């Protein structure tokens, strides 16, 4: 089987590509390196520096005949989507359609899509939010992700393409870019270790469901080869507010710095936490890393990274 991982030079995509290679799949990567890094690309993967919106995508698909698409490439910054909803839609909708059209014409059998649980549901009517929770995204980013889920349903019903949408909560871990990608854990880690001041938007009481990247990768690998199409949450079911997250990281980095508070950002939810029991039931998936264990591994990686840069 031949797999194409989009965004495979980025944070989540590169970890997925590692796992695909380890499982024995012939693994290709598409990434335009706008936020990803060539250093993240696994040595044994075949890398194509290419934007998912480019017409060359179809030529590549005709040549390689990929069986499976793991679609992790995206404009993934919620705040940037608010500032520039046109760009967000261009990448996340039109770029994705470019991939799907190229694939369905050239033997694509399955898509595993990196959707969002953190931004797709909107403010919770109940918690944790399961897959039956009303979908009311409050950012263009969440809207584009939901749109792609609808398109995938269309490709399933019209062309028989198997599709699995994985609605991630807030993913964190090694390789997350503290500058080019969204991710408060990465931002706080880097600033605390460098002795810089962290900014908390609003009062810091907004909550998120933080899930370690290895558990997200495991969900992707479990979904490969699924015989049905469906949507699954990937999260821990545990809410942590930003103030508490900061305290955890402050202790792990041996910092005594206090954060500064700024105005809250438009399009930002106050609460988000998802229920992953469907994923656990169908695919025998289970969370391996709680927040403390995951943050320890993440801080350790950032410490090494900062030392290497000096």
Q: Are 117 and 129 in contact (CB under 8 A)?
A: yes
Nearest to 22 by CA among 217, 211, 213, 176: 217
* Residue 180 CB-half CA count within 13 A: 14
Q: What is the DSSP string of 54-109?
A: STHHHHHHHHH--SEEEE------HHHHHH-HHHHHIIIIIIHHHHHHHHHTTT--
DSSP annotation of 28:
E
Do residues 40 and 3 lie in contact, with contact meaning Cβ atoms separated by under 8 Å? no
The answer to whether the beta carbons of residues 164 and 223 sit under 8 Å apart is yes
Considering 141, 172, 232, 246, which one is annotated as catalytic?
141
Look up 212 and say whether it is catalytic.
Answer: no
- Phi, psi values for residue 263, rounded to 5°: -65, 150
Instruction: Provide the annotated active-site residues.
Output: 141
């Amino acid at each position: 089987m031949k797999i194409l991982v989009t965004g495979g030079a980025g944070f989540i995509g590169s970890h997925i590509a590692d796992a695909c290679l380890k499982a024995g799949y012939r693994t290709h990567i598409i990434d335009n390196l706008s936020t990803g890094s060539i250093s993240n690309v696994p040595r044994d993967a075949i890398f194509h520096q290419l934007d998912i919106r480019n017409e060359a995508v179809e030529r590549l698909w005709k040549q390689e005949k990929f069986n499976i698409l793991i679609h992790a490439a995206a404009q993934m910054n919620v705040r940037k989507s608010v500032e520039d909803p046109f760009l967000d839609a261009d990448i996340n909708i039109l770029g994705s359609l470019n991939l799907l059209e190229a694939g369905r014409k050239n033997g694509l059998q399955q898509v595993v899509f990196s959707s969002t649980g953190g931004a797709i549901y909107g403010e919770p009517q109940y918690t944790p939010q399961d897959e039956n929770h009303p979908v009311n995204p409050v950012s263009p980013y969440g809207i584009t992700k939901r749109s792609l889920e609808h398109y995938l349903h269309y490709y399933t019903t019209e062309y028989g393409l198997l599709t699995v949408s994985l609605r991630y909560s807030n993913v964190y871990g090694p390789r997350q870019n503290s500058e080019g990608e969204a991710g408060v854990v990465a931002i706080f880690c880097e600033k605390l270790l460098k002795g810089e001041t962290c900014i908390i938007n609003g009062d810091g009481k907004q909550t998120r469901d933080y899930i370690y990247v290895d558990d997200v990768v495991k969900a992707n690998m479990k979904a490969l080869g699924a015989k049905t199409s469906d949507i699954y949450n990937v999260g821990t079911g545990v809410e942590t507010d930003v103030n508490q997250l900061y305290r955890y990281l402050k202790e792990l980095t041996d910092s005594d710095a206090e954060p500064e508070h700024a105005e809250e950002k438009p399009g930002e939810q106050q609460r988000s936490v998802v229920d992953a029991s469907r994923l656990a039931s169908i695919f025998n998936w289970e969370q391996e890393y709680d927040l403390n264990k995951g943050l320890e591994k993440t801080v350790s990686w950032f410490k090494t990274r900062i030392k290497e840069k000096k």
